[in-house]
Amino acid sequence: MPDATVVKHLLDELEATLRDLGSWHQPPPAPAAFESQVPFSADTMAFTQWLQWVFIARFRALLEGGRPLPSRCQIAPMAEEALRGLECDTAPVLAVLARIDAQFD
């Protein structure tokens, strides 16, 4: 079972890392972007947008609501694929995501 306090800290670290890379997006995507049926909303959002507006937001909502976290989280492998080829250094994002995944092992 993941430690909620550690997961919250890692989500904050992920946000800070995305901000440092200039990949924190404002304003949010259009409401229709959230209706995607494609995994990770790949057809309507950049992966970094999905991290911000779906992954981080949903995990924070679960934590704030005292709801149980998922039993598994394997986001780092998808992130490696989705972030490949970006011009910025994505290693810090991948490192935080790997640490998040490790909380669910």
> pLDDT for 62-84, tens place per residue?
999 999 999 999 999 999 999 98
Complete domains list, the chain, with CATH: 4-24+44-102 (1.20.1440.40)
Residues 6 or more apart whose CB falls under 8 angstroms from that of 93 comprise 14, 17, 18, 21, 23, 48, 51, 79, 83
Q: Residue 82, Cα to own-chain centre: how many angstroms?
A: 12
Q: What is the reported pLDDT for 34? A: 96
